[in-house]
Structure 1
């Protein structure tokens, strides 16, 4: 009886499941993925620090580019971009277009310096650039927390399903290291692009083509029983209307929080993109694994080409979904939305899933479900490997100054287990706080917390006068300001649109959250940190030029011997390419199995830490 009272779409969402052919396809996908990961992990030196954390620096441009794209396109893209397209049109695609240019910045300005310096992690670069350990430690801890709030919590789904994917992703990261992660990323990039193209094709055929979609989208308002309204000068306005400029990428400067003002595109969005693509460990680690600078640049170019696709494969199908399911996806009445998708704030994020469940035949539906799992898996494996790298290289060695390579490898893999546990515990919390548009949630949190990092990396790369005191204290102030804004955003919840309830939030909260767009806040935070770091650096002693060789853009070609900072030798006591053959006779059978899985039966010690890997 209950199903008889549901609409066709509501019945699909409630009872739509995978048929036997779908399940077979998903199983085949997982078996193929496990096979690719296993073969890749067996072909690399998993028992060395370089092999586990940087894939022995032996990846070609195609693998690097595919991994960059796959690491970026998680469920916040498959679900979030389609949902934002359904809600407001193509403006959200400016993030994808913007990334194309920022990727060139990564390949031609940042990567040459990173490779010349011979680093493993971004916090390690800051230690070499500025000296001391406090800025490195602060950034390491902050980055790990940021991964929980954005990258891992962005992978939303059914609780049991996401736990299974977390565990499987953890197994790949633990057993195979970065090599297995990059190879599976490449495999999943092919699957994601093909799968999204299939969904787009079915959606466009169903709506009658591109021109028909534009005509129908302009009038795809939800019916009154699915809508909430508010009054403006005595006139009822829908809480989720179709905007007149839905095909414009540049929106009004006073656009609301879930839209993108044009002023934010050239400020906060640009700043956030530089952080993500040029200074975030997950992305940069892929380029550091390249065979050389040429392969790193080739990978960046491939990723830039692939970034043209999300507009056509995700955003436009999301708009088609709004046309096909205008009441369900366009609902704004909290009661109706709760009935449809169990979210009072809106149901736009079901756009992609609904297209899959309703339009695709059995078999293809399973393929696209495998695509969605691939998106989540690739993001999770990338984050797990990068987070374990940061924890091992930048945090663990602060407490264990003489840690052996074997110890670092065990610690890195163990930290993945800890991260899985924390991620599972965080899932129900973050689901309760998320807004209706998942992609906006991720971008908002990033713009609260990441602009200070962008400012310090840009100044550190291009302005040799920036010193440790200026970088450290400006970072602390910038993080503090961002955390305050984060707390105001998620600590105070305003009434739902159309509810008729009075907004009881303090006036300063309304002014800070509702009237200060997160992209504009990102620009403010960036400028604040830039000004503070500049003033403090000019008032304190500069870093000697002899300590900056191959650490700034202007000295990337230098062949001079860089003077060591006071603590350059305190972290690692690694000798160049030494191979240890530990005795197996004294080990138990379980320890031998563990060593085999983790690649610890032969331990290779990586290069000398103080010498650059190569001169560019």
Structure 2
């Protein structure tokens, strides 16, 4: 799958991209023009975001080069099962809509580390804040900037470091200026461009597969037939790599339910992913939940997540189907050595762009790619500076800082975090392997301890700070020990190798430790188990703010979304 070297931009492409940049700048300036002397205005948009901005920003923050580069490369290698990283969010989204949103909004907090201190203690808050900052830089910002830099490097032949710096500086500028308000409103426009640009590439890829028939239906049929890998070179390359993927002789690319030994999507993760990674990513991950905390009220927050759910339904069409198309068109890539093949797969989408996009659409896709990078970089930068400013600087260094001073610190820390991320991004290429696997494995390491104590802490009043602290530190020690064990002992159980299985095992150990230690030590103080910090099932009314008219009904639109996901899982069972 050799990259072409003639991906030139014509005047029409430049005009399309320039229009996107001008529109984004205009929206960012318009949204951020209001004075931001209060920290709530800068970090939470004054809690004024409407539902369509909440949902669009929630998804735009999530879509990045992990999807356009990493997930498409993963779909090329592993097949349809990677779509479960999108469709599987139905569980966490449902809990977010029905349980966590009314609960978190009633707590009136700025950050999730702040909530952790109120429920447990300052140690948990500071440790969670530090881990949040590190994970945001390493697992999100550096990876996203690397993926974007890799795309520009392969498309135009630019130096990788130069590409990363350009993307980082351009993408991060508006975060410094406007805070969450600018970021969220820019995301509304960006997500439309991303979905439009990504859909066009998928459609052109299906037309390419169909050959002289020029039929989407025929292209889709050929894609499915070749991904079944029942004959020819497709069967050969799947058999060649089955041992690496599932540690078995056979592998089914068009099934979302995979063996327990599957490298990235064992069947156990379909049941347990919510408890560890999904709960952490969608509920207590600051750069995602910050959009919810900035909503006007509970109805706008809930409908925003419902809208995000519908986008999750269609996302695999633009970030998984292209990988299936590439496998159907270029199966010989999978004859390469395993690590080299996975790195080559990450370049597949760039090859599609070079091969398929005509004049004009190149500019649109560059806008979509830049939008994916810009929205995620903005989101993570804003949330990371929020955590640093409020949970580290304000909490530990200058408790009497003015609101205006905190906004200034937020802007300065944003710049510093951006440059650290740019520096680290240039070294990801040396790690080898798949970008998608790199990011997902980091999620599986960081998430379980905090997901366990958060869930137990809000459900059970008896959980205390001692139990939570013990669980968190044991969880990270266990995570490190497992990874070392797998590296040094080739006789380790096959089921332990997939990071999703490690994640659930870590979560279970943390949950057990938290419960046992809490029961063996003194109960928490009354101020740590108020109705704002633990769920009072008698007082929490989850049926408030569900919409006055039927077409505003959270229940209706959530129900349709959930049924769509269930239907898709059944089809690809």
| TM-score band, normalised by shorter chain | 0.7 to 0.9
- CA distance in 2 between partners of 1:98 and 1:556 (Å): 30
Trace 1:233-312 onto structure 2 (pairs within 5 A): 244-255=251-262, 257=263, 259-268=264-273, 270-312=275-317
Task: Specify whether residues 549 and 241 from structure 1 end up closer, same or farther in structure 2 by C-alpha distance, changes over 3 A only.
Answer: closer
Residue number among 552, 565, 569 corresponding to 2:534 in the alignment: 552
- For the residue of structure 2 that corresponds to 1:477, the secondary structure is helix
User: Any conservation in 2 of the 1:46–1:52 contact (CA below 8 Å)?
Assistant: yes
How much does 1:531 deviate?
A: 0.9
How much does 1:270 deviate?
A: 4.9
How much does 1:440 deviate?
A: 2.0
Task: Specify whether residues 541 and 429 from structure 1 end up closer, same or farther in structure 2 by C-alpha distance, changes over 3 A only.
Answer: same
Is 1:134 aligned to 2:134, yes or no?
no
- For the residue of structure 1 that corresponds to 2:427, the secondary structure is helix
Query: Which residue of structure 2 aligns with residue 613 of structure 1?
Result: none
- CA distance in 1 between partners of 2:537 and 2:241 (Å): 59
Task: Specify whether residues 154 and 512 from structure 1 end up closer, same or farther in structure 2 by C-alpha distance, changes over 3 A only.
Answer: farther
- For the residue of structure 2 that corresponds to 1:70, the secondary structure is helix
- For the residue of structure 2 that corresponds to 1:153, the secondary structure is helix
Query: Which residue of structure 1 aligns with residue 59 of structure 2?
Result: 69
How much does 1:137 deviate?
A: 0.5
Query: Which residue of structure 2 aligns with residue 54 of structure 1?
Result: 44
Task: Specify whether residues 517 and 173 from structure 1 end up closer, same or farther in structure 2 by C-alpha distance, changes over 3 A only.
Answer: same
Query: Which residue of structure 1 aligns with residue 16 of structure 2?
Result: 25
Query: Which residue of structure 1 aligns with residue 155 of structure 2?
Result: none
Task: Specify whether residues 185 and 331 from structure 1 end up closer, same or farther in structure 2 by C-alpha distance, changes over 3 A only.
Answer: farther
Residue number among 208, 222, 228 corresponding to 1:212 in the alignment: 222
Query: Which residue of structure 2 aligns with residue 574 of structure 1?
Result: none
- CA distance in 2 between partners of 1:27 and 1:394 (Å): 38
Is 1:333 aligned to 2:317, yes or no?
no
Q: Deviations over 1:77-111 (max 9, x none)?
A: 12222112211210011111111231121122112
Task: Specify whether residues 557 and 46 from structure 1 end up closer, same or farther in structure 2 by C-alpha distance, changes over 3 A only.
Answer: farther
Query: Which residue of structure 1 aligns with residue 374 of structure 2?
Result: 377
Residue number among 38, 54, 62 corresponding to 2:29 in the alignment: 38
Larger Rg: 1
Residue number among 401, 404, 407 corresponding to 2:405 in the alignment: 407
Query: Which residue of structure 1 aligns with residue 460 of structure 2?
Result: 463
How much does 1:140 deviate?
A: 0.3
Task: Specify whether residues 170 and 311 from structure 1 end up closer, same or farther in structure 2 by C-alpha distance, changes over 3 A only.
Answer: closer
Query: Which residue of structure 2 aligns with residue 534 of structure 1?
Result: 515
User: Any conservation in 2 of the 1:88–1:242 contact (CA below 8 Å)?
Assistant: no
User: Any conservation in 2 of the 1:95–1:269 contact (CA below 8 Å)?
Assistant: no
Compare 309-318 and 479-488 and name the one that shifted more: 479-488
Trace 1:579-598 onto structure 2 (pairs within 5 A): none
Task: Specify whether residues 557 and 469 from structure 1 end up closer, same or farther in structure 2 by C-alpha distance, changes over 3 A only.
Answer: same
Residue number among 2, 18, 27 corresponding to 1:10 in the alignment: 2
Is 1:323 aligned to 2:328, yes or no?
yes
Task: Specify whether residues 231 and 277 from structure 1 end up closer, same or farther in structure 2 by C-alpha distance, changes over 3 A only.
Answer: closer
- For the residue of structure 1 that corresponds to 2:2, the secondary structure is helix
User: Any conservation in 1 of the 2:275–2:452 contact (CA below 8 Å)?
Assistant: no
- CA distance in 2 between partners of 1:465 and 1:420 (Å): 41
- CA distance in 2 between partners of 1:346 and 1:239 (Å): 19
How much does 1:267 deviate?
A: 2.1
User: Any conservation in 1 of the 2:464–2:523 contact (CA below 8 Å)?
Assistant: yes
- CA distance in 2 between partners of 1:538 and 1:271 (Å): 22
More helix by share: 2
Task: Specify whether residues 439 and 270 from structure 1 end up closer, same or farther in structure 2 by C-alpha distance, changes over 3 A only.
Answer: farther
Residue number among 82, 95, 98 corresponding to 2:85 in the alignment: 95
Query: Which residue of structure 2 aligns with residue 567 of structure 1?
Result: none
- CA distance in 2 between partners of 1:146 and 1:251 (Å): 28
Query: Which residue of structure 2 aligns with residue 184 of structure 1?
Result: 186
Task: Specify whether residues 434 and 383 from structure 1 end up closer, same or farther in structure 2 by C-alpha distance, changes over 3 A only.
Answer: farther
Query: Which residue of structure 1 aligns with residue 152 of structure 2?
Result: none
Query: CA RMSD of the aligned region, Å?
Result: 2.8
User: Any conservation in 2 of the 1:220–1:326 contact (CA below 8 Å)?
Assistant: no
Alignment gaps of 5+ in structure 2: 150-160, 211-218, 542-573
Query: Which residue of structure 2 aligns with residue 454 of structure 1?
Result: 451
Task: Specify whether residues 488 and 544 from structure 1 end up closer, same or farther in structure 2 by C-alpha distance, changes over 3 A only.
Answer: same
Task: Specify whether residues 536 and 241 from structure 1 end up closer, same or farther in structure 2 by C-alpha distance, changes over 3 A only.
Answer: closer
- CA distance in 2 between partners of 1:54 and 1:136 (Å): 19
User: Any conservation in 1 of the 2:60–2:375 contact (CA below 8 Å)?
Assistant: yes
Residue number among 363, 368, 380 corresponding to 1:366 in the alignment: 363
Is 1:523 aligned to 2:504, yes or no?
yes
Compare 154-163 and 352-361 and name the one that shifted more: 154-163
TM-score, L = length of structure 1: 0.78
Compare 345-354 and 529-538 and name the one that shifted more: 345-354
Aligned residues: 516
- CA distance in 2 between partners of 1:134 and 1:252 (Å): 39
- CA distance in 2 between partners of 1:381 and 1:69 (Å): 13
- For the residue of structure 2 that corresponds to 1:450, the secondary structure is helix
Query: Which residue of structure 1 aligns with residue 386 of structure 2?
Result: 389
Query: Which residue of structure 2 aligns with residue 480 of structure 1?
Result: 477
- CA distance in 1 between partners of 2:539 and 2:403 (Å): 30
Trace 1:152-191 onto structure 2 (pairs within 5 A): 152-155=141-144, 156-158=147-149, 159-191=161-193
How much does 1:471 deviate?
A: 0.8
- CA distance in 2 between partners of 1:127 and 1:555 (Å): 22
How much does 1:286 deviate?
A: 0.3
How much does 1:46 deviate?
A: 1.8
User: Any conservation in 1 of the 2:60–2:190 contact (CA below 8 Å)?
Assistant: yes
Q: Deviations over 1:227-284 (max 9, x none)?
A: 996999xxxx9999996411111011222x2x42212321246521111011100111
- CA distance in 1 between partners of 2:324 and 2:232 (Å): 10
Task: Specify whether residues 529 and 230 from structure 1 end up closer, same or farther in structure 2 by C-alpha distance, changes over 3 A only.
Answer: closer
Query: Which residue of structure 2 aligns with residue 443 of structure 1?
Result: 440
Residue number among 114, 117, 120 corresponding to 1:124 in the alignment: 114
Task: Specify whether residues 513 and 363 from structure 1 end up closer, same or farther in structure 2 by C-alpha distance, changes over 3 A only.
Answer: farther
How much does 1:331 deviate?
A: 4.3
Task: Specify whether residues 248 and 514 from structure 1 end up closer, same or farther in structure 2 by C-alpha distance, changes over 3 A only.
Answer: closer
